[in-house]
A and B are shown apart, each in its own frame.
Chain A
Amino acid sequence: MSPDTFMILALLILTLPLVGFVLMIFFGKKLPRQGDWLELSIISGVLVLALVLLFQKLLLYHDQTLALNFIWADLKNVPGIGPLKIVLGFQLDNLSTIMLSVVALISTVVHYFSVGYMHGDVRYSRYFAYLGLFTFSMLMIVLADNLFLLYVGWELVGICSYLLIGHWYEKKSASDAAIKAFVVNRVGDLGFFVGIAILFTTFHTFNLREIFDAVAAGTLPSGSEGWMTAAGVLLFCGAIGKSAQFPLHVWLPDAMEGPTPVSALIHAATMVAAGVYLVARIFPLMTADALLFVAYIGAITSLISATIAIAQNDIKKVLAYSTISQLGYMIMGLGVGAYTAGFFHLVTHAMFKAGLFLGSGSVIYAMHHALDHQHDHQTDPQDIRNMGGLKAKMPVTYWTFLIYTLAISGVPLTSGFLSKDAILAGTLAFGGQSGHLLIPIIGFTVAGLTAFYMFRLVILTFLGEHREPGRLTHLKESPKVMTLPLMTLAALSIWIFYSFNPFGMADSWFAHAIERPESVVPASIAPVAGHLFAEEMHAAHIPAMALSLLAAGFGILMAFATYYWKRISADRVAEKVKPLYTFLLNKWYFDELYGTVIVGGTHALTRALRWFDNTIIDGVVNGAGWLTKGVSTVSGKFDMGIIDGLVNATAYVSGFFGLVFRKFQTGKVQTYLVYVVLGVMIFYFVFRLI
C-alpha cells in the first residue's frame, strides 16, 4: 500500500463511526432491530480496516510517520504575529496505529456485548449512536497530529461520556454522575487549554511535530525553562481530568451509573486511555520536573485508589477503583520515563479491563434476571456480598474473569505481567537514578494491593458457597453474544500476542514499534536520556520481576487466607483498624472534601452574591424605580393640576361665556331689534356725554 492509501484508510476509519452516528441518531429507530446491525457492521468494518492498517504499517512503514495535512483556516496577516495559517492534519505512526486498533477492537467487542446487555432498552438505537460518536471522538484524538484536533476530540469524548453515563437519566444518581463526570473533566480541560495556549502563543502552530522541532531548535515558551515545565504540567492537567488522576479522580467511580458496557468502553479504550495517550504524545516536550510531577501524581493516584478498592463491596466500584489505580500505574510509568512500558500497560490493560467490566456486566445481567425471577427488587444485583458460588452457574464468565484477574494481578504468562513488570522495572531504575525511592515502594505496594482486592472480588463472587443456598437457583449463563466477546478478550490477555518471551517484553515487536522518543527540551532540564534509562531498566528487570511476583503472590495468598480459607477474619481486621477501614470505605472522604470545599464554597459564594443582588442591585433598581415613580407622580400632579387645569379653565371660561351669550342669541328677530334699539340709545347717551 502506498502512503496515500494509508491515509485514506485512516480517514475512512475515522469517518465511518461518525457516519454510523448520524445514520443511527436520525434513522435508528425506524430501521429493523432499531439499526443495531448497521452500527455493528460499521464498527466491524472499522476493526478490520484498523487491523489491516496495523499489520501493513508495522510491516511496510515500520519507522516512518505518515501524515496528511490541510489548511483549515488562512488568517492572512494577524497583528502581532504576521501571516498565520492554521494547519490541521492526521498522522499515522506506530503509537497511533496501535492505539487505533485497540480502540477499534474494544469498541467492537463492547458493541457486540451491548446487543445482549442492552436488549429491550428504551433508548436502544440512541445508545448505539452514542457509542459510535464515542468511538469517532476517540479515533480523532488518536489520529490528530496537532493539539487543535486533539482538543476537539477531547471535548467530544467528554460530551459522549456525559451522554452515555447519563443514559438512564431518569435515575437521579445517573444524571448526577453524568454531570459530575463532565464538570470534573472541565477542570482538567481548563489546564489543557491553557497549556495549548502557552504553546500556541510561542510557536504559532498547533502541529506537535513543528512544536517539537522548534523546541529542539532552542525556542522555549517565553524563553524560559519554567514556562516549558508549566506548559508540560498544564497539558498533563487535561490527562489528570480525563484519566481520572488524583485529585480529579472522583468522577470515575460515579460513572458506574452508566450501562456496564459503557463502563468497559470508558475504562478500557475511549476515555481514560485518552489521558495516557496524550502524555505519550507530548512526552518529548516534558521536562524532568514535569515528568517528576507526572510520576508522583500517578503514584499517589494508584496508591489511594488501590486502598479504596479493598473496602468496596459493589463489584463495579471495585473495578472502577482498580481502573484508577492502573491508570495511575501507566501515568507513573510514563512519568518515570518507562515510555514503552507505560503505553504497553495501556494496551494490555485495555484488553483485560474491558474484559473485567464485560464480565461484571455478565454477572450483573445474570443476577438481575435471577432476582427478577424471584420478584426480588430489594437486593442489589451489584453487591458482591449477595453473590458467591457463581462459578458453577456461569463457567464461561468465571474462567474468563479469572484470566483477567490473573492478568491485572501480574501473574506470569499473562499480558498484565509483561507490562506491569516493565513499569515496575522502570520505577526501580528511576528510583535508583534520581533517589525518589517512594515511587518504586508505592509501585510494589500497589502491585500487592491489586492482587489482593482482585482476588477478593473473584473469591467473593464466584468461589465458595452462596450464603443462602438455593437463593439463586435461576441464575444462568449469559447469551452467546455476551460470552463470545469475553472469550475474545480473555484470549487477548495472554502474553503470546505481545511478546514471545513470557517473562519480558524488551525484545517483542511491541517494544520495537513503540520506542521512547528522545526529549526535545534543552539538556539541562531534560529527563535522563533514553539509552541510559534503558540500560538501568534492563538491569532492574530481574529484581523487579522477583519483587513483583513476591508482591502479587503475597496479595493473592492473603486474599485466599482471608476470604477462602477464612484463616483471617476480615471483619475482625476491619474492627481492629476501624478508623482506617471507615476512612477507606468512604473513599478517603474525597467526595465529602470536595462537597464541603468546592460545592460548599460555591454555595457560600452564590449566597453572598444573592445577598448582593437582593440588597444592592435590587436596591439600586428599586430605588431608581421608586425615584422615577415619585418624579412621575409629581409630574402627573402638575399635568393634572396645572396644565389640565389651565386647559379646562379655558374651556370652562369659553363654556361660561357661551352659556351667558347663548341667552342673547335667541334666534328671534324681535330680541335683536331690542338690542339694536338699546344699543342706539346707549350710543346716544354715550355720545351725548362726550
Chain B
Amino acid sequence: MQPTTDFFGEFLAWLPNVQLAHFLIVSAILFSLGIYGVLTRKNAILVLMGIELVLNAANINLIAFSRYGGVNLDGQAAAIFVIILAAAEAAVALAIILNIYHRFQTVNVDEVSTMKE
C-alpha cells in the first residue's frame, strides 16, 4: 500500500503545480477520446464531434507550447487558425451529413457504403 499511497500522494502534490506536462496530458486524453470517438461511433455527427475533440486537443498543445516553450505567439496564432478551420469544417461537414441524411435517410456511416462497390 505504501507505494500506492506514495504515488497517489506524489500525484496530489504534483497536480496543483501547473506546468507544461499538465496541458500535454489533458491534450493527450482529449486527443485519445477524440480518436476513440471517431473510430467507434457509427453516427456521423458523433464522428464529427470526435474530430472536433482531436482538433481542440491539438489546439491545447499549440497554446501550451506557445506559453511554456518560451518561443513566441506563433502557437496561439495557429490555434486561432485551427478554430476557424474547425468552424468551417463543421459547417461543411454538417452540410454533407445533412445531404447524406436526405439521400440515405440515415447518418450511420457503415450503411453509407455505395461507393464501395
Contact = CB atoms under 8 A, between A and B. Distances in A.
A670 B35 contact: no
A668 B109 contact: yes
Nearest to B117: A667
A668 B110 contact: yes
Interface string B45-83: 001000000000000000000000000000000000000
B95 interface: no
A668 B38 CA distance: 12
A563 to B, nearest CB: 118
B1 interface: no
B89 to A, nearest CB: 15
B15 interface: no
B4 interface: no
A667 B109 contact: no
B39 A674 contact: yes
A670 B113 contact: no
A677 interface: yes
A555 B102 CA distance: 139
Nearest to B114: A667
Interface residues of B, number: 10
A673 B39 contact: yes
Contacts of A673: 35, 38-39
A617 to B, nearest CB: 67
Interface residues of A, number: 7
B110 A677 contact: no
B101 to A, nearest CB: 17
A669 B109 CA distance: 8
B12 interface: no
Nearest to B38: A673
Nearest to A665: B116
A670 B109 contact: yes
Contacts, number: 18
Nearest to B113: A667
A667 B116 contact: yes
Contact of A677 (B39, B115, B116): B39
A673 B110 CA distance: 14
Contacts of B47: 670
A668 B35 CA distance: 15
Contacts of B39: 670, 673-674, 677
B7 to A, nearest CB: 25
A677 B109 contact: no
A627 to B, nearest CB: 56
A673 B51 CA distance: 11
A673 B115 CA distance: 18
Interface in A640-690: 667-670, 673-674, 677
A667 B115 contact: yes
Nearest to B116: A667
A431 B116 CA distance: 124
A666 to B, nearest CB: 8
Most buried by B among A670, A674, A677: A670
Nearest to B110: A668
A669 B39 CA distance: 9
A670 B38 contact: yes
A27 to B, nearest CB: 84
Contacts of B116: 667
B113 A677 contact: no
B57 to A, nearest CB: 13
B61 to A, nearest CB: 15
A682 to B, nearest CB: 15
A675 to B, nearest CB: 11
A670 B38 CA distance: 7
A24 B39 CA distance: 108
Contacts of B35: 673, 677
Contacts of A674: 39
Interface string B77-117: 00000000000000000000000000000000110010110
B88 to A, nearest CB: 20
A1 to B, nearest CB: 111
Nearest to A671: B39
A673 B40 CA distance: 11
Contacts of A677: 35, 39
Contacts of B113: 667-668
Contacts of A669: 109
B39 to A, nearest CB: 5
Contacts of A668: 109-110, 113
B1 to A, nearest CB: 34
A667 B35 CA distance: 19
A11 B60 CA distance: 133
A677 B39 CA distance: 10
Interface in B13-48: 35, 38-40, 47
A673 B54 CA distance: 13
A668 B109 CA distance: 8
A667 B109 CA distance: 11
A673 B116 CA distance: 17
Contacts of A667: 113, 115-116
B23 to A, nearest CB: 20
A406 B116 CA distance: 122
B50 to A, nearest CB: 10
A26 B115 CA distance: 85
A670 B48 CA distance: 12
Contacts of B109: 668-670
Nearest to A668: B110
A267 to B, nearest CB: 102
Contacts of B115: 667
A665 to B, nearest CB: 9
Contacts of B40: 670
B87 to A, nearest CB: 22
A371 to B, nearest CB: 101
Given A668-B110, A670-B38, 4 more contacts: A667-B115, A667-B116, A670-B47, A673-B38
18 contacts: A667-B113, A667-B115, A667-B116, A668-B109, A668-B110, A668-B113, A669-B109, A670-B38, A670-B39, A670-B40, A670-B47, A670-B109, A673-B35, A673-B38, A673-B39, A674-B39, A677-B35, A677-B39
Interface of B: 35, 38-40, 47, 109-110, 113, 115-116
Those 9 A-B pairs whose CB atoms lie nearest each other, nearest first:
A667-B116, A670-B39, A667-B113, A674-B39, A673-B39, A673-B38, A677-B35, A668-B110, A670-B109
Interface of A: 667-670, 673-674, 677
